[in-house]
């Protein structure tokens, strides 16, 4: 029976009246790529800082592979952090930055040099060792920060929105690279982000944070397809939430449910009624042509509205824009809805 990499037991962190983290329970498995996803101020970064040791819980306990660490200072914890602003030492060369942890531990110089070179190879920056951080681009600094943390073989690597400052292309490239590096080194990664796409791309599991609490923990597909709460449904991707009278007319139950826009089939006339489908009719109020797909906003006859996304498989921009004001019939699989609480 192996211990989980990280375990939170009723961990709270209050700043005065503000409950930044509120009685969070959490388990992160060994070797997992785990993302903490949430809007700013949701408590995800505070959780990360408490694992690193920069912040201490007001109450509760944090275990690192079974060892209670919540009162240990950062330099006595076997975890390393990749900072949002990279926090590279500006007065040191890249070599010295990457070697810093080893230098502190007193690793002999020859071994240090070898391991630094291996690490710079891993992050694809060979030969950059003699430069200063100011001579590197944002993406390169990002890799150095990663190398500086990984060289110490930490039990857990913490990444605090490390891709936030990069442009879209570079970010997508780094997402793939981070994932592959994680699989190669086999270290538990805990990744904090507010970008749901980033979390869905890389993670084994995701915890969705809101107002100091975890709303849902699950695999990317679980979180996306079966959001547990209306907050998750709204924060992870776009979602239609239907509740009350309207829900009752469509499904026969007034419980709130969510349906993803891309799961809805939009047709000109009434679809043949089916056992395993829900359907509704309405009028197209707005059409937004986005090249790859088209987004429709449909006013339902039963009240409320739905966002529908259709791939432009056979349609052209002329076709879709003409749909405005047309009567349409919407239908979707019963399996694709998700009952949400709250």
Partner 1 sequence: MNRLSAFFFQRPKLVTLLLLALPMLYMLVVYLGSLFSLLINSFYYLEEFTGLVVKEFTLSTYAQLLKPTNLGIFRRTAGMAMAVTMMDAVIAFPLAYYIAKFASPRLRTYLYIAVTLPLWSSYLVRVYAWKLILSKEGILSWFVDLFHLNPALDWVLSIPGIGGSSLSLSPLGMFIAFCYIWLPYMIVPIQTALERVPKSLLEASSDLGARPAQTFRNVILPLAFPGVVAGSIFTFSLTMGDFIVPQSLGTSRFFIGQAVYSHQGTSGNIPLAAAFTMGPVVIMIVYLLIARKLGAFDAL
Residues that bind partner 1 (CB under 8 A): 52-54, 73-75, 79-81, 83-85, 87-91, 100-101, 104-105, 148-149, 152
Judged by beta carbon, residue 84 or residue 219, the one nearer partner 1 is 84
Q: Which is nearer to partner 1, 39 or 74 (CB)?
A: 74
Smallest distance from partner 1 to CB 178, Å: 19
Q: How far is the CB of 324 from partner 1 (least distance, A)?
A: 46
Which three-class secondary structure string do you get for the chain?
CCCCCEEEEEEEEEECCEEEEEEEEEEECCCCEEEEECCCCCCHHHHHHHHHCCCCCCEEEEEECCEECCCCCHHHCCEEEECCCCCCCCCCCHHHHHHHHHHHHCCCHHHHHHHHHHHHHHCCCCCCCCCCHHHCCHHHHHHHHHHHHHCCCCCEEEEECCCCCCCHHHHHHHHHHHHHHHHHHCCEEEEEECCHHHHHHHCCEEEEEECCEEEEEECHHHHHHCCCEHHHHHHCCCCEEECHHHHHHHHCCCCCEEECHHHCEEECCCCCCCCCEEEEEEEEEEEEECCCEEEEEEEECCCCEEEEEEECCCCCHHHHHCCCCCEEEEEEEHHHCEECEC
For residue 245 the two structure tokens come to: 């009278």
> Judged by CB, which is closer to partner 1: 79, or 207?
79
Nearer to partner 1, 77 or 260 (CB): 77
Which one, 83 or 293, has the nearer CB to partner 1? 83
Residue 15 CB, nearest approach to partner 1 (Å) = 14
Alpha-carbon span 90 to 162, nearest angstrom? 18
Rounded to the nearest whole angstrom, what is the least distance from the CB of residue 27 to partner 1 in the complex? Answer: 23
Q: Could you tell me the smallest distance in angstroms from the CB atom of residue 53 to partner 1? A: 8
Output the smallest distance, CB 130 to partner 1, in A. Answer: 14
Q: Which is nearer to partner 1, 52 or 233 (CB)?
A: 52
CB of 220 to partner 1, least distance (A): 28
Nearer to partner 1, 160 or 215 (CB): 160
- 118 token code pair: 């291996």
Smallest distance, partner 1 to C-beta of residue 81, A: 5
Q: Return the closest-CA partner of residue 315 out of 304, 326, 306.
A: 326
Residue placing its CB nearer to partner 1 in the complex, 105 or 169: 105
């Amino acid at each position: 029976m192996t211990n989980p990499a990280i375990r939170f037991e009723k961990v709270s962190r209050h700043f005065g009246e503000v409950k930044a983290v509120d009685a969070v329970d959490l388990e992160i498995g060994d070797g997992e790529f785990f993302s903490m996803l949430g809007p700013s101020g949701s408590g995800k970064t505070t959780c990360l800082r408490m694992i690193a040791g920069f912040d201490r819980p007001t109450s509760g306990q944090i275990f690192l592979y079974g060892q209670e660490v919540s009162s240990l200072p950062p330099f006595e914890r076997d975890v390393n952090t990749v900072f949002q602003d990279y926090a590279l030492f500006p007065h040191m060369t890249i070599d010295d930055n990457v070697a810093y942890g080893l230098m502190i531990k007193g690793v002999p110089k020859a071994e240090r040099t070898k391991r630094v070179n291996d690490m710079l190879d891993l992050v694809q920056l060979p030969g950059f060792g003699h430069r200063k951080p100011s001579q590197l681009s944002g993406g390169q600094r990002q890799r150095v920060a990663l190398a500086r943390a990984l060289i110490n073989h930490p039990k857990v690597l913490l990444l605090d929105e490390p891709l936030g400052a990069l442009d879209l292309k570079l970010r997508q490239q780094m997402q793939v690279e981070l994932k592959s590096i994680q699989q190669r080194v086999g270290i538990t990664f805990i990744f904090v982000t507010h970008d749901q796409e980033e979390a869905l791309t890389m993670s084994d599991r995701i915890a969705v944070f809101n107002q100091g609490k975890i709303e849902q923990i699950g695999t990317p597909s679980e979180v996306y397809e079966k959001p547990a709460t209306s907050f998750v449904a709204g924060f992870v991707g776009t979602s239609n939430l239907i509740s009350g009278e309207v829900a009752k007319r469509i499904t026969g139950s007034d419980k709130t449910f969510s349906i993803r826009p891309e799961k809805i089939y939009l047709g000109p006339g009434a679809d043949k009624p089916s056992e395993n489908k829900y359907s509704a009719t309405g009028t197209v109020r707005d059409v937004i042509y986005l090249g790859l797909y088209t987004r429709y906003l449909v006013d339902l006859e039963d009240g409320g509205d739905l966002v529908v996304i259709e791939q432009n498989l056979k349609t052209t921009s002329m076709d879709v824009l003409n749909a405005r004001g047309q009567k349409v019939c919407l239908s979707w699989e019963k399996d694709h809805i998700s009952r949400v609480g709250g």
